[in-house]
């Protein structure tokens, strides 16, 4: 276990951007859980779910962080608990993300292996001193991976109804707020700044791709709706 991060004093403006970003991510989790209940489909790519939950458990319960007392630590812990519910749903419905029969058959072992792999990655990454006191570097690694996989998932999905603009905007704006904090607090750390910008661009790309897919789906459904309305007798 690495030494505990030293307590750092943050300005109110920095607290606003960082904690506000995590609040938006929390709201995204709530919407994700609602959508899972409605569609029986997990919108977050499976590999990213595993990266999220392992990151939040390690930074919430294993490594100590300080921001506004233990406020941030509890944000991480609450995020981890919400991710537990998403992980359970992933075991129940996550195979719907997969079209290859061989992978679908071994989906549960794939999830377990991903959890182990992400945990080993974070332990090595932080243990070698590559991360920042709040876990920002490793958080952006999983964020960039998630944004790429989100776009690929929505591109190959047969039905885009389970995918939500609100989740895309909440996680995108939430990450953007954290990126503002990164530029304020780490003005000389170009690695984390570049990762933040990459995440923002990928989130924007995802929203654009989702918009094009939903628009195409609406155009395909329009003739069917018009035909069904034409079959309804019009009152005299």
In the predicted structure, residue 9 carries a pLDDT above the cut 90 = no
Model pTM greater than 0.85? yes
Could you tell me the end-to-end alpha-carbon distance of the chain, in angstroms, rounded to an integer? 78
Give CB contacts under 8 A, 24+ apart, made by 34-38. Answer: 35/162, 35/164, 35/167, 36/86, 36/89, 36/93
- The 10s digit of each residue's pLDDT in 173-224 is 999 999 999 999 999 999 999 999 999 999 999 999 999 999 999 888 766 5
Q: How confident is the model at residue 234 (pLDDT cuts 50, 70, 90)?
A: very low
Distance CA 93, CA 11 (A): 43
Vertex 184: Cα angle to 178 and 187 (nearest 5) = 115
- The 10s digit of each residue's pLDDT in 104-158 is 899 999 999 999 999 999 999 999 999 999 999 999 999 999 999 999 999 999 8
Count other Cβ atoms within 10 Å, centred on residue 189. Answer: 15
Vertex 152: Cα angle to 151 and 157 (nearest 5) = 100
CB 88 within 8 A of CB 79: no
Distance CA 163, CA 170 (A): 13
- Give the rounded distance of the alpha carbon of 77 from its chain centre: 16
């Amino acid at each position: 276990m690495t030494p505990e991060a030293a307590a750092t004093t943050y300005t109110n403006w920095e607290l606003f951007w960082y904690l506000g970003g995590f609040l938006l991510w929390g709201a995204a989790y709530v919407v994700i859980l609602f959508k899972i209940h409605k569609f029986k489909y997990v919108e977050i790519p499976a590999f990213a779910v595993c990266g999220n939950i392992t990151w939040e458990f390690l930074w919430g319960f294993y490594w100590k962080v300080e921001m506004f007392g233990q406020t941030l630590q509890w944000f991480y812990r609450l995020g981890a608990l919400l991710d537990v519910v998403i992980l359970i749903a992933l075991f129940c419905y996550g195979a719907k993300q997969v079209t290859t029969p061989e992978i679908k058959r071994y989906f549960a072992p794939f999830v377990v292996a991903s959890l182990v792999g992400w945990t080993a990655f974070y332990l090595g990454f932080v243990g070698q001193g590559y991360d920042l006191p709040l876990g920002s570097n490793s958080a952006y690694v999983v964020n960039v991976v998630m944004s790429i996989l989100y776009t690929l998932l929505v591109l190959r999905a047969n039905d885009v109804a389970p995918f939500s603009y609100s989740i895309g905007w909440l996680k995108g704006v939430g990450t953007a707020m954290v990126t503002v904090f990164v530029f304020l607090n780490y003005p000389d750390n170009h690695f984390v700044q570049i990762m933040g910008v990459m995440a923002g661009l990928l989130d924007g790309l995802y929203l654009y791709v989702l918009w094009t897919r939903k628009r195409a789906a609406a155009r395909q459904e329009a003739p069917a709706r018009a035909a069904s309305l034409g079959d309804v007798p019009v009152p005299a």
